[in-house]
Amino acid sequence: MFRKVLIANRGEIAVRIIRTLHELGISAVAVYSDVDRHALHVRLADEAVRVGPPLVAESYLRGDRILDAAKKTGAEAVHPGYGFLSENTDFAGACEAAGIAFIGPPAAAIASMGSKTEARARMIDAGVPVVPGGEAGSVDEAKITARKLGYPVMIKAAFGGGGKGMRWVAAEDDLANAYERAKSEATAAFGDGTVYLEKAIVRPRHVEIQILGDRDGQCVHLFERDCSIQRRHQKVVEETPCPVASGDLIDRMGEVAVRAASAVGYYSAGTIEFLLDESGEFYFLEMNTRLQVEHPITEWITGIDLVREMVRISAGEGLGYDQAAVQRRGAAIECRVYAEDPRAGFLPSPGTIDALRVPAGPFVRDDSSVYAGAEVSSYYDPLISKLTAWGPDRPAALARMRRALGEYVITGIQTNLCFHERLLRHPEFLSGNYHTGFIDDHRAALIDAPDQLPGNGEALAVALAVAVASHQQSTAGVADGDGGNGLSPWVTAHRARGLR
């Protein structure tokens, strides 16, 4: 087993990895940019190394500086987390060449699945069902492909993910503009503007299968996650089990996912993503050759620490269990808490967190990297935390998540907490009847609904509640701190959101 591991990442995922490393008795090395000098992952690590200025191209994407930091600190391995260099073939290869273990899949597997067009070809050869698609090397070629597929179509970046370089096209008149915008966005996000076309599946669900494999060829799946609640093609809520999928369907999807991973000699944690149509047919979408943001809900239902397994596998250990040993227990849901303004198109809302109250209690987990006084930087993704909850069944998990959201208080910045609270009370969501366009279809109820207090009244009410609570705790104590109305300031703040 390793003695020291460097985490080539930042934010909540760096914090999450550090915690597992410490449980394993492994020293953790953090890297940071200038703006992250006082970040929580730096504070929790055993050592920390500066890798550059705030811009990611000069810090977290500088593989040479990351490797220099690993060598200088004596780190035997690097865990890339997700994003940044996690799916960078050159970086994985450079780690291997330097004699530093890359805690993830082999570089060859990343290369095979990193190009969506190559991945599609490999999956077709392996007998995995894929969405009909074709080449789009130019606008003219894209038009020819689209006519063969039939509209609507999706233009998609061949490299990268996260909804970047994606455009839905309903008719040929819209194709040229969408094509140029997708290429431009893909170039800016991934350094490669290559795009291709897929037939757009109307009202699909986005369902993914978590897989885990070792170097000896043993591979299992850890069931599914439904990631259909998305804005701008980016996930905001995930749950398991998928509310509309039978056990037989998930077994079949799991078998296909294991076959897909085995076809490229995959080991470590990875995810095979599928589109599930309304008839119950599923199609390969892409493979993420890394840990996923939503991995905690899989950990809830299986009891398997995915980061721990990645470290073990990278150190040469075998899984030590087969598919029959992987059991599902209960249901889990994740809400991604972002510093963003849903009413402004979910635009990021960076700034300083003035006050913070994090939910707790039985079967609630908050993966976060912020604290009161922390700065949410405009340089990076505005994810504040991944709030997850478990229950013996879906209604219990949803009830627990609603309770947890009601306890969450963040002031100083805009967040999407109210959006999540409205979503978890929406009757269509509660019935499990949703798809990837759910947010757009229900914008009036989820985003545009007025607050009880005008203007910025909600934030003011929460800030006032925090101030009242702090004052009363420091003077009369919590026991008498009801503000004269029989309610605690925290309940007052929650009700000011207009949700009870």
Q: Looking at residue 449, what DSSP letter applies?
A: P
- Give the tokens for residue 440: 């757009």
**How far is the CA of 355 from the CAs of 13, 150, 455, 497, in angstroms?**
22, 52, 20, 17
Long-range CB contact pairs, 447-450, < 8 A, 24+:
447/342, 447/343, 447/419, 448/343, 449/422, 449/498, 450/498
- What CA–CA distance (Å, rounded) separates 49 from 35? 13
Which residues lie closer than 8 Å to 253 by C-beta, 6 or more apart? Answer: 207, 209, 224, 245, 274, 282
Q: How far is CA 183 from CA 137, 158, 177, 188, 190, in A?
A: 10, 10, 10, 9, 10
Annotated catalytic residue within 122, 231, 290, 497 = 290
Identity at 321, one-letter amino acid code: Y
Counted residue by residue, the chain has a size of 500
Of the CA atoms within 13 Å of residue 349, those in its CB half-sphere come to 20
- The residues near 388 (Cβ < 8 Å, ≥ 6 apart) are 296, 297, 300, 332, 333, 334, 335, 364, 365, 366, 367
Q: Given the structure tokens 């909600």, which residue do they identify? A: 458
Cis peptide before 243 (omega within 30 of 0): no
Neighbours of 292 (CB within 10 A): 21
Distances (CA, A) of 316 to 1, 229, 267: 8, 37, 11
* Residue 434 three-state SS: coil
The Cα–Cα gap between 71 and 239 comes to 40
Known catalytic membership, residue 290: yes
Sheet with 4-7, edge to edge strand ranges:
47-52, 27-33, 4-7, 77-79, 101-102
Query: Under 8 Å CB-to-CB from 79, ≥6 apart: which residues?
Result: 5, 6, 7, 8, 9, 17, 21, 103, 104, 307, 310, 311
Give the helix, strand, coil percentages of the chain, each rounded to 5.
40, 25, 35
Q: How far is CA 347 from the centre of its chain?
A: 17
Cα 254 to Cα 209: distance, rounded to the nearest angstrom: 6
Active site residues: 290
